[in-house]
Structure 1
Amino acid sequence: MSLPEGVQRRSFDGRESLATRGPQVSEEPTVDGWRRWDPDRSKVGAMFEDGLEHGLEGGERVLYLGAASGTTVSHIADFAGPTYAVEFAPRPTRDLIEVAADRDRLFPLLKDARKPETYAHVVEPVEVLVQDVATRGQAEVALANRQFLEPDGRLLMAIKARSEDVTADPESVFEGVCETLSSGYEILDRGRLEPYHDDHLGVVATPRQ
């Protein structure tokens, strides 16, 4: 599987890892301006490491749902085009704003991903929709935000089984979410995100026409 332009494998203390070139965000190791992208802290990083066919080339416009304090979205903004980062909680949004201060392509939005009408006037059509939200109804969130995705765009979604139903078998949860998701998306690839994230499924999809 190829990596998007702007993402490389670099050696950090003798260990090869994904890396992007940009300002340091936390205490991640850096070498010659490249900073380590830790898949244990990033669902998208785990998707790359696990070999999902993401279809990203670099430079795409991105809408990221569930940006939290900005760890993953900062790496994405390092290699993507304009990147809109939606986060619902005020505290991590403050951290996200600090991350964006060093990145002119990263635009934080204190909004609820379940209510895309509240940011529809801000977000332009995008080529990539990334979703990492811890809520029940994850498929419904992706369907509601499909309006922003170009016809040939890509959805990269991390399904969190425990957010849907903490008592159910994760595989049953994944099947149910994917079935709902399929009403508006064609699923191109999927795979568990172990060993990096337990009870998570990575999904790559494109909008149905």
Structure 2
Amino acid sequence: MTLFLTYVLLGFSIALPVGTITIEMTKQGLKNGFMHGWIVGLGGMTIDLFLILGLYLGLASILSMPIIQVIMWLVGALFLCYVGYDSIKNADHDISLGGEKTSKSLFSSYKNGLLVAISPGNLVFWVSVFGTVLSDSFDRTNTGSFLLVGLGILIGILLHDIGLMTIVSTTRKAMNRTAIKWVTISAGFVLIGFGGYFFYQFLRSLHIF
């Protein structure tokens, strides 16, 4: 039980830094409410689950290959820049204030979470952050304990997502359509910024810097 709670705390902690999923969750939560933001997080957690299973099957050794990482950084940079541009372009679309019925489907929000989480740069990030933790756990313990550690991390991420969306949905009630639009535009620029960082990592991997 102590091991499980330790990794719940770890999952919560590694979800705290602002990343691409957090930005997308906040954007959708402000525009369409708690459920849409949370569903984005569930889309991201679906990829996390597959990553944990992949690490169990030896995916980490493949993703850590230099040539694979070079490709993933570049594709990740292009993908996030596109997502950021789309966020800015459609900042005033699909906004529903408190009490209004949203026109955006929950499946669409879930798909957004999947797409952002499957960004190659995001995969590199997750493997580097908790891939080692899970691999070490697998080396030291049996399969059951490894899966327990993975479950603890996922629950920690889930608790973070619920807490974040509670704050966002509460804040949303005090915001008008214009304010939500400008937050969405800001989120788009942040995503483009992440794309720029991934492109920098791509250039570094080519030993240009």
Fold shared, TM-score > 0.5 on shorter chain = no
Q: Hey, which of these two has a bigger chunk of strand by percent? A: 1
Instruction: State TM-score, norm by structure 1.
Output: 0.23
Q: Hey, which of these two has a bigger chunk of helix by percent? A: 2
Higher RCO (Cα < 8 Å, 6 or more apart): 2
Q: Of the two, which has the highest radius of gyration?
A: 2
